[in-house]
Amino acid sequence: MCGIVGYAGPRDAQQVLIDGLQRLEYRGYDSAGIAVVNEEESLQVFKDEGDVTKLTGSMPVIEGHIGIGHTRWATCGKPSKENAHPMIDCENCIALVHNGIIENRAELRDRLENEGHIFTSETDTEVLVHLLEEYYDGNLRSALARALEDVKGTYAVAAVRKGSNEIVAARKENPLIVGLGSEENFIASDVTAVLNYTNKVIYIEDGEILTLTPSGVEIFNDKGEKINKDYITIPWTAEDAQKGGFEHYMLKEIFEQPLAIHNSLLGNFDKIMSSDFLSSQDFSSVKLIACGTSYNASLVGKYAIEYLAGIPVTVELASECRYSSETREDPLVILVTQSGETADTLAAARLAKKRGHRTLAVTNVVGSTITREVDNVLYTQAGPEIGVAATKTYVTQLMAMYMLALKLGKSRTLRRDEIHRYTHGLKSMPRTVSNVLAKSDEISEAVGMLTNAQSAFFLGRHINYPTMLEGALKLKEISYIHAEGYAAGELKHGPLALLDSNTPTVAACVWDMSYEKMLSAISEVAARDSPVLGIGIEGDRDLEAIVDRIISIPEVEGILSPIPLTVAVQLIAYHTARKRGCPIDRPKNLAKSVTVD
């Protein structure tokens, strides 16, 4: 989950690398470093524990036009200066950065130490730079290819050598892109690192290895054959990935949700509704596979698809999917991943294809790995998301679930007037969400009951049970308050024992089939002295009478209520974390894209 950036061209490499690392900090911020080949053809390396700001505050000027950089999220070896990348060989000639896990690191390290190599870190990455040193015979790309033959594991890796104007790089199951400029070229883990300089990007695929210089890029396949690849023009701009006057990226991205919903509808609705891929009747069930926030979106998808299309749906954690047994069913498999690079979800996609299932990916990133692993792709079109806690990407995943459910329902169960009603509801969502956003200050005042809590409960029923799972996850991620989401009917089966005046509850109660049961559950909670923050439909006096504070959302179809409710719980989590002084965009121990399993 670390961030890699590299530059070769006429600019000051140090500044380009620092700029790229700052844009990649959502991928890791335990430590950071850069390596630059300077004008005297020596190799200068500077790295430190902490974020990029700390690095830049203590780093001297390093002159040169070729270099690599890295911001780390620790997986092997604690955060420290010694474990920060780049890693250096014994002769201080080669510098290397790496994202991934080397599974046979112990075996390789023993071998290399027996051959006289001196290790200075606890990381798995360091074996790679010593392997390069071992195999270097004048051709750095060949040395990297030989080194990677010894490696078991996953990687995106880049290296430079003093006296050279080239960067060599390779990938296996970790993202790596090339940015194409005019007499300058870039590598990075993510397009956001290069958008200041170019929007022309080549996605490197598993097994490929490349050499990058100021004048060009040469890419080779796993057989060592040179290949030609077309670039993709990224529609985002550098400004899209900036804070735009907001205090945090997360708040900016919460407020971008009306536009994200509009763009998702504009880019997908007509295409999905006319798609042949989902029109056939040759699958009798749907399986949704995802991790984290995407898993919660998939749970909403289960309710929506079963309600609107009458098709049985199962939802599986991608990390558990690899251990599942093959059954006689032949479902449509939908894989949901914001980045398109989530390691567990990619593994699940490959397993589904191996079993002969039809596959559809729901992702936000054009050209990401999963788009090349599946039969069809639905892009959520949320735009770049920098905050580690997913907001607009989650809401557009919900929109994708509803559009898929409506399409499946159209060919199976829904009448024309029902299709029209739900379509109108979806197309009204930008305005509905804007109405919730207008209550941000009111929500900020309402979260006082959460600010000093050690634990909190989030309660919902039916389609808003997963909505409250997402609310609890958001609170945990950015405020560090222990929070649990529960189906309200489960209160009597354990959670009631934990409720008291120090344990607040957030409860979603909308006008749908679960309304009366939710009112009863909230009354039970209030009877145990738990402070209750209710989220319900504007004008609901019955709910207002039994809660301590209420946040109102516009009236919508009950089945569509997760969208405005989600925005409310996002704002609850944000304002709680802000009042607690937490690092909202960079929560501890977390990174944006989980590319290791």
| CB-based contacts of 19, cutoff 8 Å, min separation 6 | 196
Task: Name the helix (H) or strand (E) containing 565.
Answer: helix 562-579
Burial class (CB in 10 A: 0-12, 13-18, 19+), 239: exposed
- In three-state secondary structure terms, 283 is coil
Return d(Cα 369, Cα 346) in angstroms, integer. Answer: 8
Q: Decide if 382 contacts 258 (C-beta within 8 A).
A: no
Give the span between the Cα atoms of 383 and 241, in whole angstroms: 9
Alpha-helix runs per DSSP H in 278-428: 292-309, 318-321, 343-354, 392-410, 416-427
Note whether 458 and 505 are within 8 A (CB): yes
| Upstream peptide bond of 384 is cis (omega within 30 degrees of 0) | no
Rounded-to-integer distance, Cα 143 and Cα 122, Å: 23
CB contact set of 320 (below 8 Å; sequence gap of 6+)? none
Sorted by sequence, the CB contacts under 8 Å of residue 102 that are 6+ apart come out as 76, 108, 124, 125, 127, 128, 151, 152, 153, 155
Tell which residue, 570, 568, 396, has the closest CA to residue 473: 570
Task: Please calculate the CA angle 288-293-297 and round it to the nearest 5 degrees.
Answer: 45
Taking the C-alpha atoms of residue 393 and residue 258, their distance in angstroms, rounded to an integer, is 12
Q: Which residue has the tokens 């599974």?
A: 103
Point out the residues that are catalytic.
2, 592
CA 214/CA 66 separation, integer angstroms: 8
Q: Can you tell me the distance from the alpha carbon of 342 to that of 326, in angstroms, rounded to the nearest whole number? A: 22
Q: 575: which residues sit within 8 A by CB, 6+ positions away? A: 440, 443, 444, 447
Query: Interior CA angle at 339 toward 337 and 342, to 5°?
Result: 65
Q: Are 188 and 231 spatial neighbours (Cβ–Cβ below 8 Å)?
A: no
Q: Are 23 and 186 in contact (CB under 8 A)?
A: no
CB-based contacts of 546: which residues, under 8 Å, 6+ apart? 519, 522, 523, 526, 532, 534
C-alpha to C-alpha distance for 234 and 54, rounded to whole angstroms:
31
Beta strands in 103-207 (DSSP E): 153-161, 167-172, 177-180, 185-188, 200-203
Beta-bridged to residue 536, according to DSSP, are 509, 552
Cβ-based neighbours of 74, under 8 Å, separated by 6 or more: 28, 30, 31, 83
Mapping DSSP to helix (H, G, I), strand (E, B) and coil, where does residue 376 land? strand
How many angstroms separate the CA atoms of 2 and 72, rounded?
A: 5
